[in-house]
Amino acid sequence: MKAAPPHIFVDETWIEIEGKKHIMLGAISTENPGHLAHEVSRLKSSIGLKPFDEIKWNSANFNQGQRNRLSEGIIRLIRDCTGLISIVEGSDRQKASELFADQVIDYCSANEFPAYFLALDHGLIPKPDKLAEFVSRSHAPTCIGLSTLDSRYDQVIQCADVFVGFFRAAIRQELGAALKLIPNTDESFEDIRIAWTLTEYVILGTRGMLWGQTDTLDDRGFVYYEHPMHRAMGLGFRLHSTITQEVRNLLEKNIATVYMGCLH
């Protein structure tokens, strides 16, 4: 029996890499968007927010305590989703959305999804009809639902906003932004450190979430037991850019690759 078509929710942000402007698209894929939306509304309620109080990455509408609880809550809620990140040089949203659609199609094909639903934040694409034509195909995987959603009123698009914001912040820190430390509130890691860097917090908090492949064999053909790495470069993490190979290698090593073994 084939898996149910996933619902893929997409939002975008902007990032500068080596002085070049890039549009950065991020998506979360879930087979149960209703359940996720309900959990997000419950998280909001737990800190005194209403269902239509919009969550955005690093929003100034909340105090520091609320932001911390929202960040921790959202990162836990989306861990069971699959994540996709695509960074496209320039400011052409239509081109970026089509490159991202190719990534979605590859993801669905690799996982034998016969079809998918695609929902994008309102305003992400200038010409939705052109994207609809682009994703139309007579063979699997087929886009069977294409919509634009107002993030103010959709809980899962807000999750996608936080997801892409997490990765933007992690990348910026890797590229030299001011170091930011996140207090360690997870008692299971109490014996390791009292704080994580922002990059560590994001990459470990979402580890294995980006569509990728986890090492099973080493160079000699033996099964990995001690150092399995999850690799998302070219799969769930894609770059369409003229940035230098040095920076590509840095992002592959520190953002698109994560250790999947025990952290103790």
pLDDT digits (tens, 9 = 90+) for 148-181: 999 999 999 999 999 999 999 999 999 987 667 7
| CA dist., res. 78 & res. 159, Å (int) | 8
Reported as a single tens digit per residue, the pLDDT across 52-71 is: 998 876 666 777 778 778 88
Structure tokens of 135? Answer: 């994703």
SS3 sequence, 212-225? CEECCECCCCCECC
* Per-residue pLDDT at 20 exceeds 90: yes
- pLDDT more than 70, % of the chain: 85
pLDDT of residue 199: 83
DSSP conformation class of 179:
P
Least confident of 18-22, 28-32, 128-132, 173-177: 173-177
SS3 sequence, 107-175? HHHHCCCCEEEEEEECCCCCCHHHHHHHHCCCCCCEEEEEEEECCCCCHHHHHHHHHHHHHHHHHHHHC
Least confident of 40-49, 122-131, 149-158, 215-224: 215-224
| CA dist., res. 250 & res. 125, Å (int) | 30
Between strands 7-17 and 20-30, the pairing is antiparallel
* Per-residue pLDDT at 264 exceeds 50: no
> Rounded mean pLDDT of the chain?
88
pLDDT of residue 146: 95
DSSP per residue, 72-103: HHHHHHTTTSEEEEEEEESS-HHHHHHHHHHH
pLDDT of residue 2: 62
List the domains of the chain with CATH numbers.
7-259 (3.30.420.10)
- pLDDT more than 90, % of the chain: 65
pLDDT of residue 22: 98
CA-based nearest residue to 82, from 114, 55, 104, 115 = 104
pLDDT of residue 249: 97
Which pTM value belongs to this model?
0.89
Provide mean pLDDT across the span 106-124: 95
